[in-house]
Amino acid sequence: MATVHLTSLGCPKNLVDSEVMLGLLLEQGFTPVSEPEEADILLVNTCGFIQSAVEEGIDTILGLIELRKNPTVRVVVTGCMVKRYGADLVKELPEVDLFLGTEEVATIADRLRALAAGGSCAVLPGAADRFREQGEIPPFLMNSELPRRLATPTHRAYLKVTEGCDNRCSYCLIPSIRGDLRSRALPDILREARGLAAAGVKELTLVAQDLTAYGLDLRGGPKLADLLHGLLRDTDIPWIRLLYLYPSRVKSDLIALVAEQPRILPYFDLPFQHVSDRVLKAMNRPYGEAMIRELVGEIRRLLPGATIRSTFMVGFPGEEEEDLERLAAFMADCRLDHVGIFTYFNEEGCAASVLPRQCPDELKERRRDRLMALQAEISLAANQARVGRVEEVLVEGVSGESELLLEGRTRHQAPEVDGCVYIADGQCRAGDLVRVKITEAHPYDLVGEIVTD
Ligand code: SF4
């Protein structure tokens, strides 16, 4: 059977789709290979969320095509970029043998088998939509019956609990790419979580486009709190991390639940996007600065040691200097632990793309650089306050920086997005939970040594 090399781009939600595709291909006798040169099929699961992700996708595909020495090697492109650009991609990338939309995760093995057997390659991006209209391919929703081959180290995994999004942020294309909100049934999620726990997962990171929307589409059905209670009851996973909490849906009861349950990490990922009421309104985000400040205060009151992470977008159409000053003042006052600053990009097809008073690129970049410099000081001070403390650390393994160092993360550092702890002294293995005394702080990373007493 054919060998397949898979490249997964984009966010953890896309990674879960890639893991399912890999599981299905393995089950159907395909052999995954880590080197593209060894593959009969080069599969790229793309992201189409923002322009830089699209550029990365195109570069990756072109790079793989260039590597292809043997003309019989097939190139297959799946995922959000295909959904977003459809027929344009077919025109622009004639070297690609097959494009599949996000609906086709579960049909990947059939598609690749037909392709490997020399069958028709003419499945065009629009075809998924046509099939869906005819009822042949329902929109994909993860389920625990599907085999999944983890691409993450065995001690950590993502758990995708919904697909799509019912919010309509004016800068975002996700609802048009991934469709409306679809929540998985609670027993199905718990079944998958029990399997991951049995496989040795120690950190389970819950992901969705909007995690707080879990169950809102299931009339009278479970909500996020029910899901968390179920995970606590049915598994013994020591670290349960929540990503993508929609700010206006985080209420005191959720904060109190996190405060009561040490296995739910005191980590609040709240993508505020801005604090100016005017800009938030134009973004179609239903809250303002007063609510944001109240929420940050409530988290700090109920859980003084909690980590708050956020992302902000600068250069949104109509953003004035005074809006940026508000945002800078908020960052200086509230001193969030981790902040990502992005510049607005005028994505074709977004409601915001037709708004007047678009910001010049140079100004966007200046604003981003200013806020990033401000946050670097705040993050450094927060990390310096940890020096001398002993923190629980999940060991990831040998550091990518040096073979002489190990690398891990505290409860305050999410995988892939935050910094890490370099462990300069002590013995441990990947997947161990160890106690580390922090000895040195940098803006994003920490250095420490294992303590045994
Ligand atoms: S919450 Fe807003 S930004 Fe996030 S996926 Fe939904 S529409 Fe996009």
Predicted confidence (pLDDT) per residue in 376-389, tens digit: 999 999 999 999 99
- For ligand 1, atom 8, the nearest C-alpha belongs to 172
CA of 118 to the centre of ligand 1 (A): 40
Same domain membership, residue 409 and residue 276: no
CATH of the domain at 412: 2.40.50.140
The crossing angle, in degrees rounded to 10, of helices 321-334 and 361-384 is 10
In a domain, 340, yes or no: yes
Mean local confidence (pLDDT), 242-249: 98
CATH of the domain at 31: 3.40.50.12160
Considering only 9-13, 41-45, 89-93, 293-297, which range has the smallest mean pLDDT? 89-93
CA of 7 to the centre of ligand 1 (A): 25
Domain end point (choices 359, 384, 409)? 384
Q: Is 143 in the pocket of ligand 1 (CB under 6 A)?
A: no
Residue 161 CA to residue 223 CA, distance in Å, equals 11
Same domain membership, residue 161 and residue 98: no
Ligand 1 atom with the smallest distance to the CA of 166 is: 6
In a domain, 150, yes or no: no
In a domain, 311, yes or no: yes
Same domain membership, residue 42 and residue 129: yes
Predicted confidence (pLDDT) per residue in 42-79, tens digit: 999 998 878 888 889 999 999 999 888 888 899 999 99
Same domain membership, residue 317 and residue 217: yes
**Main-chain dihedrals φ then ψ at residue 313, nearest 5 degrees:** -115, 125
In a domain, 369, yes or no: yes
Q: Is 19 in the pocket of ligand 1 (CB under 6 A)?
A: no
Pairing mode of beta strands 390-398, 433-441: antiparallel
Considering only 45-59, 125-139, 271-285, which range has the smallest mean pLDDT? 125-139
Same domain membership, residue 304 and residue 343: yes
Same domain membership, residue 275 and residue 185: yes
CA of 414 to the centre of ligand 1 (A): 20
Q: How confident is the model at residue 177 (pLDDT cuts 50, 70, 90)?
A: confident
Q: Is 167 in the pocket of ligand 1 (CB under 6 A)?
A: yes
Same domain membership, residue 355 and residue 207: yes
Residue 362 CA to residue 353 CA, distance in Å, equals 18
Residue 264 CA to residue 214 CA, distance in Å, equals 17
The crossing angle, in degrees rounded to 10, of helices 224-234 and 252-260 is 10
Domain count, the chain: 3
Residue 103 CA to residue 83 CA, distance in Å, equals 9
**390: enclosing H helix or E strand:** strand 390-398
Same domain membership, residue 361 and residue 406: no
Q: Is 165 in the pocket of ligand 1 (CB under 6 A)?
A: yes
Angle at 181 between CA 133 and CA 16, to 5 degrees: 95
In a domain, 147, yes or no: no
| Residue to substitute in 84, 169, 216 for testing ligand 1 pocket (most ligand atoms within 8 angstroms of CB) | 169
- Domain of residue 10 covers 3-133
Same domain membership, residue 280 and residue 199: yes
3-state SS of 238-304?
Answer: CEEEECCCCHHHCCHHHHHHHHHCCCECCEEECCCECCCHHHHHHHCCCCCHHHHHHHHHHHHHHCC
Same domain membership, residue 81 and residue 175: no
In a domain, 141, yes or no: no
Same domain membership, residue 275 and residue 410: no
Q: Is 174 in the pocket of ligand 1 (CB under 6 A)?
A: yes
What pLDDT sits at residue 3? Answer: 94
CATH of the domain at 310: 3.80.30.20
In a domain, 209, yes or no: yes
Q: Is 261 in the pocket of ligand 1 (CB under 6 A)?
A: no
| Residues linked to residue 3 through DSSP beta bridges, in sequence order | 31
Domain end point (choices 360, 384, 408)? 384
Q: Is 358 in the pocket of ligand 1 (CB under 6 A)?
A: no
Q: What percent of the chain has pLDDT over 90?
A: 77
Angle at 75 between CA 69 and CA 81, to 5 degrees: 140
| 3-state DSSP percent of the chain in helix, strand and coil, to 5 | 40, 20, 40
Domain end point (choices 83, 101, 133)? 133
In a domain, 140, yes or no: no
Ranges 54-58, 119-123, 438-442, most confident: 438-442
- Of residues 402 and 127, which shows the higher confidence score? 402
Ligand 1 atom with the smallest distance to the CA of 244 is: 4
Same domain membership, residue 288 and residue 260: yes
| One-letter amino acid of 422 | Y
Tokens encoding 39: 């593959």
